Amino acid sequence: MAEVRLDHLSKRYGTTHVLPDVTLTINEGELFAIVGPSGCGKSTLLNLLAGLDQPTSGRILFDGDDVTGLEPRERDIALVFQSYALYPHMTVRGNLAFPLEVTKRRHGFDRRRIEEEVQKVAGFLGLGPLLDRKPRELSGGQRQRVALGRALIRKPRVFLMDEPLSNLDAKLRGAMRAELRRLHEELKITTIYVTHDQTEAMTLADRLVVFNRGEVQQIDHPHEIYARPANVFVAGFMGYPPMNLLDAHRENQTLQAGPLGLPFSETRSSHLLDQPLTMGIRPEAVAITPTAVTGEETVSGVVRLVEPAGAGMWVTVDLHDAQDITVIGLAEVDFVPNVGDMVSVSVGRSPVHLFDRATGQRIHSA
């Protein structure tokens, strides 16, 4: 295990600054997720951590030791990729044993010790009955467990995982997320996990960082990022369906977004609301009901899209008396609206998030 620190790390390709300036600390034994849209610099950062690429400037430190210039094999890390990268001509046993075969002289492992380690890891991952099979005879989830086992058997200081579950179907991804979390709880190896899937990051990570265009947007625990997004980008990226983000302004004791008006209580910092705002409302706080009754906090609209969601339905609604204002809300399971139906839209008492429209930054005290 190791504490990992990035100290003003940057990476430039020609005139393109992929990572302008990244400073952050990953705690020893933490499962830390790096999340963001495609092209935001996640994999570039992981390659720098692994030693597969070198930064333009800045340092990478493991437990205070500068490893920036070290080769991958000198960093004591283990990589798990999106592609399983298993040796097709080897059995599961051979794939698991390979890292120890390569380094057996350095670590003093003989064949008997290697087999003991293989059996231990195979038992831990439920691979015992599969040891004599080759990768082509395995399912996707089994192959991913072999890839994890091959990394695990080395007992590295740091695990680096680059979208390891993205090739699996939805059900298997859920099962493997639970498996990864179990592994981490038992082993407590510092793990850095790259993904574009914000649900994966939220369910797996102790903490996570949200990236956009190579820049850190927010670092915190998943719940805090969901409950208190630092800016409009994080608010819209974290959570599915995405947060409703509406242009708003203050009218006396009301926050007004088109026809939707929400009352608020005066605070010592209410003067911060005397500016153009972006109002953020989570879809689960927006109720869609069949009766088109308007009121101070209820407006009518027309259904544009309906998405079944298990215990209810996500409904996209174009608000009446509004220019291009659309919201997503939740209809209860016993109400099944159709596209084109008139419905009522109301906002519950869940928190409403407010952002400065000019900067996109959260107004914390409002």
Tokens 């107004």, located at residue: 363
Rounded Cα distance, 355 and 243, in Å: 13
pLDDT band, very low/low/confident/very high, at 99 (cuts 50, 70, 90): confident
How would residue 258 be classed by pLDDT, with cut points 50, 70 and 90? confident
Cα(67)–Cα(71) distance, rounded to whole angstroms? 8
pLDDT of 106 strictly over 70: no
- Report yes or no on whether pTM surpasses 0.85: yes
Query: What DSSP state is assigned to residue 28?
Result: T
pLDDT in tens, 59-82: 999 999 999 999 988 998 988 887
218 - beta bridge partners?
210
Which pLDDT score is estimated for 206? Answer: 96
Task: Return the half-sphere exposure (C-beta side, CA atoms, 13 A cut-off) of residue 319.
Answer: 23
Calpha distance 214→233 (Å, rounded): 13
Q: Do the first three CATH levels of 4-236 and 242-356 match, i.e. the same topology?
A: no
Q: Which helix (H) or strand (E) holds 170?
A: helix 170-187
Fold of 4-236: Rossmann fold (3.40.50)
Written as six digits, the tokens of 154 are 């080395």
Nearest to 95, CA basis, from 168, 54, 40, 154:
154
Preceding amide of 263 cis, omega within 30: no
Share of residues in the chain with pLDDT > 90 (%): 52
pLDDT at 292: 58
Fold of 242-356: OB fold (Dihydrolipoamide Acetyltransferase, E2P) (2.40.50)
pLDDT per residue over 300-343, tens digit each?
A: 999 999 998 877 899 999 998 777 899 999 997 788 899 999 99
Q: How far is CA 305 from CA 108, 150, 313, 314, 327, in A?
A: 63, 45, 10, 8, 11
What tokens does 361 get?
């930054």
For tokens 């630092």, the residue is 230
pLDDT tens, position by position, 132-164: 999 999 988 888 889 888 888 888 899 999 888
The residue ranges of every structural domain in the chain are: 4-236, 242-356
